[in-house]
A and B are shown apart, each in its own frame.
Chain A
Amino acid sequence: MKRWLPLILFFVLVGFFAKGLFLNPREVPSPFIGKPAPAFTLPLVGQPDKTFSPADMKGRVWLLNVWAPWCVSCRQEHPVLMGLAQSQSAPIVGLNWKDKEREAAQLLGQHGSPYHAVPDDLSGRVGIDYGVTGTPETYVIDKTGVIRMKHVGPIDPEVWKKKFEPKLKELGA
């Protein structure tokens, strides 16, 4: 029996690895889920005289997408968001996070904007309030202003289908 021990131990490990392949180690459950989205008021990119506040979205299911012009994965995500904006499943608000080089307006002008509004979080303070760990991150916020889901990393069509669509349906978007 003793000589089979290494093999048995190895297969226990394999079981865990097989499970681990389908888990996302970066995905940390957010303590904000089920809590009201933190309030803020920020100027809009390109229109500093106008402001955006989550209260403006009351009564609608919407997405808060945290992005930045310097973020490579956000560029990867951009065409997907463009497609979503066209399908009009839910409005997307693009929180422009720590854009110190002030490139957001130019970038969106060049490649098109999938966003309903683009609040400008230059200091990154709002990002801290929402517990942003990196870009891109996307929050699903319901009609009463409560955060219902958070996704870390770029959205691709598969993630959208598996994670977002059922959630939006459930919330009645």
Chain B
Amino acid sequence: MIPELGHFALIIALLLALTQAILPLIGAQRGNLTLMAVARPAAQGQFVFVALAFGCLAWSFLHNDFSVENVARNSFSQLPEIYRFTATWGSHEGSMLLWALILGFWTTAVSVFSRHLPDDMVARVIGIMGLVSTGFLAFLLTTSNPFLRLLPAAADGRDMNPLLQDPGMVIHPPMLYMGYVGFSVAFAFAIAALLSGRLDAAWARWSRPWTTVAWAFLTLGIALGSWWAYNELGWGGWWFWDPTENASFMPWIAGTALIHSLAVTEKRGAFKAWTVLLALTAFSLSLLGTFLVRSGVLSSVHAFATDPARGAFILGFLVVVIGGSLALFAWRAPRMLTGGAFNWFSREAMLLANNVILLAAMGSVLLGTLYPLLMDALGMGKISVGPPYFNAVFVPLMAPALFLMGVGPLTRWKESSLPDMVTRLKWALAIAVATGLLLPLTLKGFNPWATLGFTLAVWITLTVLIGFRERLKTGARLTRLPRAFWGMQLAHLGLAWGVAGITLVANYQEERDVRMNVGDHTTMAGYTFTFQGTTERMGPNYRAARGTVEVSRDGKKLFTLHPEKRIYNASGMPMTEAAIHPNFFRDVYVALGEPLDEEAKSWAVRVFHKPFINWLWIGGLMLVIGGFLAASDRRYRIAVKAAAPAGAAAQGA
């Protein structure tokens, strides 16, 4: 009964989405206020019914209703309750329903926080989001219905993929989707502006907080995904350039470029066409990511849906949404007037350079991700593109962007003086380069990559401090600085922090694979690891060999780690559960490999010493907080009716 209720709610939601799409858009075109007024209630109603459908599915999972095929395939009676709940979006169907739910959430948020916007703008934005929603709900109902019954019911489920049974996976997908789908707001604003022909500073100002919040969620989602991979995959890596990761990273880069470009459009009225194109690109890449992961065109850990019917539907949907919006852009672009002129050395120029570099970096990731597909489609053989390509192309591309990141916020709009800038920054540059050169010498000798990483991290940190000092010199008080400024500085500092962490862990980590018998020990980075054997342990839905590894330093016992090798009952899948002892300066990481003899006395054990790896997540968290802080700036909360560019005041860009 409950699953049928969910199915029915989904059908009503589709009808409401159609209403939400068609009537307000017609109303906005004809200037009919009654039709435009349909937008808000239709959007909110749609959200209620999608939420109802989602609730019904979650109920079926929590109550182990194995007569629902999706539950039988993706859950298991012994699965702990929290994972039974997250299994709701662990499958293809469920994750698409989560997509639709979050889209409904964002649309409802727009309908609530848009009181000060013109009616036709609101009607268009909500209408466009309704179109997107229609596509997703139709996709769910026609090819990916999560409520299909299985008759006769299965006795028990096949269990959730053990890889997904991790605390990180509980919130990673919702956060990631909050980001992906959040870009639909910026997208809808851009389309609405193209349709109405009103591409002005007010439009950029409305888009900015939405874009920044979506970007912050996406950042959080990616950081959680990386943290999950580090904890769960047992290889000690935190980023694999896997197609699924790239699918989330590309919209992130485009979104980063968009945030910066929107700043220029708002303050100076420049880069309009470019900003619109970025808004379309960011959301298009989100959709593309969904397509790549869900259609099975690229194989990957997550690509569990390999059904051409689904792929064909999403591809058709992409053609309509992306193709349609790019065609609209091409048609309307000539009407966009470019804003004020600027000098080659100005904040506009710096942000333009940042945008070009970011887009080039995004293009390099896109090329690497799609290259195997392109070669295969051209009949030129099967190849795969791995980390060596991405590291070789991406890192050198990002280095100049990070350097400019230090300069950009300190330059003035319109025109800035280069000699003056040199005077202000020469000490920062000297200290950064000196640290970059000297620090590796004190560690393990000269290393160009470490030098580059340290120099950039110190450079950004110092320029952020200079930014604060120069603001304070003009008489502003620390607490009175706008949140947008704080947000920007915090995010930039977070990136510096992350770069420092990446540099340290990439260049100075130690790793060892050893065969260990009970009582054997190995020493690494000053720590002595003593293997004390394994014991059998029964988990709720798995059995595990639980290892005990004692870690000591200079003969003093520090702590004990318990890595596990699990076999999941329903699927029989083996899983490595690494044991990690973290602190601010390093992680000690132990993973069990395979037993090397019949009695499981001797094991292949992998030990890592990972210096400063946690700085990565700390830096990521600072990016997220910075984003939310910037989006909560006071000037977004006061009603903006007229299109009034805020002049050249050096606000946080």
Contacts and interface: CB of A to CB of B under 8 A. Distances in A.
Contacts of B315: 14, 17-18, 21
A79 to B, nearest CB: 15
Contact of B322 (A10, A20, A27, A70): A10
B312 interface: yes
B373 interface: yes
B388 interface: no
Interface string B350-373: 000000000000000000001011
B330 A26 contact: no
Nearest to A70: B572
Contacts of A70: 572-573
Nearest to B574: A70
Interface stretch (B296-304, B518-526, B577-585): B296-304
A29 interface: yes
Contacts of A71: 572
A101 B543 CA distance: 13
A28 interface: yes
B373 A6 contact: no
B327 interface: yes
Nearest to A25: B299
A93 to B, nearest CB: 23
Interface in A1-41: 3-4, 6-7, 10-11, 13-14, 16-23, 25-29
B158 interface: yes
Nearest to B292: A17
B32 interface: no
A13 B308 contact: no
B370 A25 contact: no
A19 B291 CA distance: 14
Given A3-B330, A3-B333, A21-B297, A14 B323 contact: yes
Interface in B364-405: 370, 372-374, 376-377, 382
B643 interface: no
A55 interface: no
A159 interface: no
Given A3-B329, A7-B323, A21 B312 contact: yes
A14 B374 CA distance: 11
B506 interface: no
A72 interface: yes
Contact of B370 (A11, A13, A69): A13
B377 A20 contact: yes
Nearest to A13: B370
B308 A6 contact: no
Interface residues of B, number: 36
B634 to A, nearest CB: 36
Interface in A59-117: 69-72, 101
B89 to A, nearest CB: 21
B334 A3 contact: yes
A135 B334 CA distance: 56
A11 B319 CA distance: 8
B333 A25 contact: no
A6 B326 contact: yes
B571 interface: yes
B318 interface: yes
B295 interface: yes
B1 to A, nearest CB: 30
A73 to B, nearest CB: 11
Nearest to B280: A6
B251 to A, nearest CB: 15
The winner among A3, A69, A71 for most chain B CB atoms within 10 A is A3
B297 A11 contact: no
A90 to B, nearest CB: 26
Contacts of B323: 7, 10-11, 14
A23 B376 contact: yes
A25 B334 contact: no
B277 interface: yes
Interface in B285-299: 291, 295-299
A72 B158 contact: yes
Given A13-B370, A17-B291, A29 B297 contact: no
Nearest to A153: B306
B619 interface: no
B335 to A, nearest CB: 11
B298 A25 contact: yes
Given A13-B370, A16-B374, A19-B377, A28 B571 contact: no
Given A4-B330, A25-B296, A72 B571 contact: yes
Contacts of B284: 10
Nearest to A101: B572
A72 B572 contact: yes
A21 B326 contact: no
B209 interface: no
B370 A16 contact: yes
Nearest to A21: B311
What are the 5 tightest A-B residue pairs by CB atom distance, in nearest-first order? A70-B572, A25-B299, A19-B377, A7-B326, A20-B297
Interface of A: 3-4, 6-7, 10-11, 13-14, 16-23, 25-29, 69-72, 101
9 contacts: A3-B330, A3-B333, A6-B330, A10-B326, A14-B318, A16-B370, A17-B295, A17-B373, A25-B373
Given A11-B323, A14-B319, A16-B374, 15 more contacts: A3-B334, A6-B329, A7-B323, A10-B323, A17-B295, A17-B318, A18-B315, A20-B373, A20-B377, A21-B295, A21-B315, A25-B296, A26-B299, A72-B572, A72-B573
